[in-house]
Amino acid sequence: MPEGHSVHRIARQFRRNFVGHRLEVTSPQGRFAEGASLLTGTVLLEAWAVGKQMFLGFEGERWLRVHLGIYGAWDFSGEIHADATLASANGRMGQTNQHGTVLDSADSDVVLDVDGENSLASIGAPRKTRVRMAEAENVSAVDSASVFPPEPRGQVRVRLLSETACADLRGPTACEVLTREQVDAVLLRLGPDPQHDPSDVSGQRFVDTIRTKKTAIGLLLMDQSVVAGIGNVYRAEILFRAGIDPYRPGNFVTVDEAWALWRDWVYLLAIGVETGQMMTIDGLEGAAWKRAMARRIHRHWVYKREGLPCRNCGTHIRLDEMANRKLYWCPSCQT
């Protein structure tokens, strides 16, 4: 499932390329036809995210709420430019041409992830997952278009089209038009997100919440009402970096530990938004840094490393199941 950093990158892409434009909104698949009819022909005024939810505000006080879920992703084509803040730490300039092909800078340090995690032309569910879904439809959902606007391919729930840019949404868990009051109701159910509100007020809310719960901290970090945006990868990595047993009840996490978890989430989320990658190992340089930028296995401490020796102590990384989700952790470092 796409985690918070991806959704914030999508929102920034919309701000850079679609906000201020009058959009044609359609539902090639047909499942969002009624919602599209409410939005088409209006100007997109704002785009932002909280956790894994993105909100696009249109004229007429109508909002498009999108939750990508496990399979959802946005594909962009046309003249797509990255926000200046998205010029990532690996040197990528993030501009695509009329066919949606990524044009990287001439910087020799540009490193693209092999699974497309730091793509700007397609953001959301992992590429391999989306290819498997597309195969069931007998169509490639990740191919670049040869003309603009491209013909809709696969099950496109909603298409947003300006004179120069196109965004296609496939496979979301939620895609609906809301009023401002309904948006506020959704936000009330979500925990703090440091990209949306980085203040100590948000941090204190997080600390106070987990310290009143008897639930395991490994479950609390995945609860979007406790903290918004953390998924399986960030959960495993943040707990390892803090040296906290994922089964420890929240009310047994100290105040200092809780604040350390929050501040590390602020730090790691910012890196993810900037680079497009969930980079959780600090201090990598040279060949080690390029290897980590290219392949996920080299940029995480414990995630997807079950049975392998811990990078820190040598103990084999353990894989458990917690609430039907895979949990990766080191039983020696996280005591």
C-alpha distances (whole Å) from 62 to each of 17, 39, 75 are 19, 7, 23
Q: How far is CA 88 from CA 80, 167, 214, 263, 274, in A?
A: 16, 21, 39, 21, 5
| 52 catalytic per annotation | yes
Cα–Cα distance for residue pair 121/95, rounded to 1 Å:
9
The answer to whether residue 137 is catalytic is no
Cα 318 to Cα 182: distance, rounded to the nearest angstrom: 42
Burial class for 287, CB neighbours closer than 10 Å (0-12, 13-18, 19+)? exposed
| Catalytic residue selected from 15, 65, 325, 331 | 325
Asked about 192 being catalytic, the answer comes back as: no
> Which entry of 2, 28, 172, 192 is annotated as an active-site residue?
2
Which of 9, 16, 52, 127 does the annotation list as catalytic?
Answer: 52
Place of tokens 């594909």: 75
Q: Burial of 84 by CB count in 10 Å (0-12 exposed, 13-18 middle, 19+ buried)?
A: exposed
Can the peptide bond before residue 149 be classed as cis, meaning omega within 30 degrees of 0? Answer: yes
61 in catalytic set:
no
Which residues are identified as catalytic?
A: 2-3, 52, 325
